[in-house]
Amino acid sequence: MPKNSQNPGFHYRLASFSYRGYDHVGIEIAGSLIELGAGYEYYKESAGKRDFFKAKHHYTMLDVLEEWDLFTEVFSEITPFYHQAIGEDKKDLPFVYQPAEVKFQPPVIYPNRVLNAGSNYYDHALEMGAEEPIKEGYEPYFFYKGLRHNLIGHGDAIHLTPRSKYVDWEAELAVVIGKYAKNVTADQALDYVAGYTCYNDISARDRMMRQNETFLYDWFSNKGNDTFAPIGPYIVPKKFVKDPQNLSLRCYVSGELMQDTNTNLMVWSVAELISTASSVTTLSPGDIIATGTGSGTGMAKGIKVKHGEIAKVFEHMYAGKSRLLRPGDTVRVEIEDVGSLENTVVE
């Protein structure tokens, strides 16, 4: 394996994608996607490098994340080489692709778990009329989303469900775990992060609560529908994200700016979320933690309420005054330092 030659001046991102029916893991350098296995072997041949690491084909992102420290050394070594090679018009190499010609998949296929933090932004809790978040003496809320049928990639379609007439968006920063983590402290937590990606927690608002039944909240019917977890397209390594607690986060629906918030409005920080989650379950490389959404969701559009007035927001929505997702909409999530995720909405 190569020695660490990390140069923070050369930026790269990781993606899972398919091209003509074949799945690949790629590293995006200077606007081009380089298939990892063939790209590393070509680099070694061109640079006259010899080592005992024989790059295989058909890596998955889970393979990479399981050996994250090892692979980051590879990425740091090949990135300067491909910045120069691509600049010399070597984009016609058979393992170099342009983003417009590939189909992006969820970056991790498939993680062991996708944990979602609920009601984790002060401004979102207020716009929804939820109770005011109190940190002292409390823990963050988490719920699960499914994997194979929930997660979709950049460019895939969000399918509205006939079970709901009120489907909403929630732009979120998602964390990708890079090391096994159990009972880690908040001070240690970011050491277990591989990188960050964009996420959209699509939600069926009218399936959120059940009245006069055994349980009040129905997270499964609200959040667990097929295609309700767009994610990607890239994993940005944590070293390229200056501060996960101070990133602008925006969401556009059919070109209209709906959400314009910042991760500094989280109730529980990224590190605190990881710490709490790891106290419950062992986090594995590739696990996803979606960190919650800020204000600007469709359900609350057009109404201002106080904490504890969630019933008014539901009345507003059922009166047809909210702006929910419709067939033909395009939803775009943009996160500073991380990138953008775009999906269309269909029946």
DSSP letter for each residue of 234-263: EEEEGGG-S-TTS-EEEEEETTEEEEEEEG
Lowest mean pLDDT among 6-10, 27-31, 61-65, 335-339: 6-10
Token representation of residue 341 = 């995720």
Q: How confident is the model at residue 231 (pLDDT cuts 50, 70, 90)?
A: very high
Mean pLDDT throughout 115-143?
Answer: 95
Higher pLDDT, 40 or 200: 200
pLDDT at 9: 57
- Give the type of residue at 103: K
Instruction: Check residues 208 and 54 and name the one with the higher pLDDT.
Output: 208
Does the pLDDT of residue 58 top 80, yes or no? no
Measure the CA dihedral 149/182/62/228, to 10°. 20
The predicted pLDDT at position 4 comes to 34
User: Any idea which residue has 């929930």 for tokens?
Assistant: 150
Q: How many CB atoms lie within 10 A of CB 128?
A: 22
Confidence tier at 219 by pLDDT (50, 70, 90): confident
Supply the pLDDT for residue 2. 34
Res. 5 pLDDT band, cuts 50 70 90: very low
pLDDT band for position 329 (50/70/90)? Answer: very high
Instruction: Measure the CA–CA gap between 141 and 102, rounded to whole angstroms.
Output: 36
Percent of the chain with pLDDT over 70: 94
Among candidate residues 246, 267, 321, 271, the one with its CA nearest the CA of residue 126: 267
In the chain, the amino acid numbered 234 is: Y
Identify the residue with better confidence: 83 or 329: 329
Q: Give the model's confidence band at 16: pLDDT under 50 very low, under 70 low, under 90 confident, else very high.
A: very high
SS3 state at 209: strand
pLDDT band with cut points at 50, 70 and 90 for residue 7: very low
Local confidence band at 3 (pLDDT 50, 70, 90 cut-offs): very low
> For the chain, how big is the Rg over CA atoms in Å?
21
C-beta separation of 294 from 262 below 8 A: yes
Over residues 128-154, the mean pLDDT reads 94
Dump pLDDT digits (tens) for 145-200.
989 999 999 999 999 999 999 999 999 999 999 999 999 999 999 999 999 999 99
Range list of β-strands (E), 123-187: 141-145, 151-152, 157-159, 167-168, 171-177
Average pLDDT in the 190-214 region?
92
Q: Is 294 exposed, middle or buried (0-12, 13-18, 19+ CB in 10 A)?
A: buried
More confident residue, 1 or 181: 181
| Mean of all residue pLDDT scores within the chain | 92
Res. 218 pLDDT band, cuts 50 70 90 = confident
Helix (H) or strand (E) holding 46: helix 36-47
Percent of the chain residues past pLDDT 90, beyond the cut: 80
Place of tokens 């499964």: 220
| Displacement of CA 202 from its chain's centroid (Å) | 13
Higher pLDDT, 91 or 279: 279
What is the structure's pLDDT at 84?
A: 87
* CA-to-CA dists, residue 242 to 8, 200, 294, angstroms: 12, 22, 20
Over range 36-53, report the average pLDDT. 83
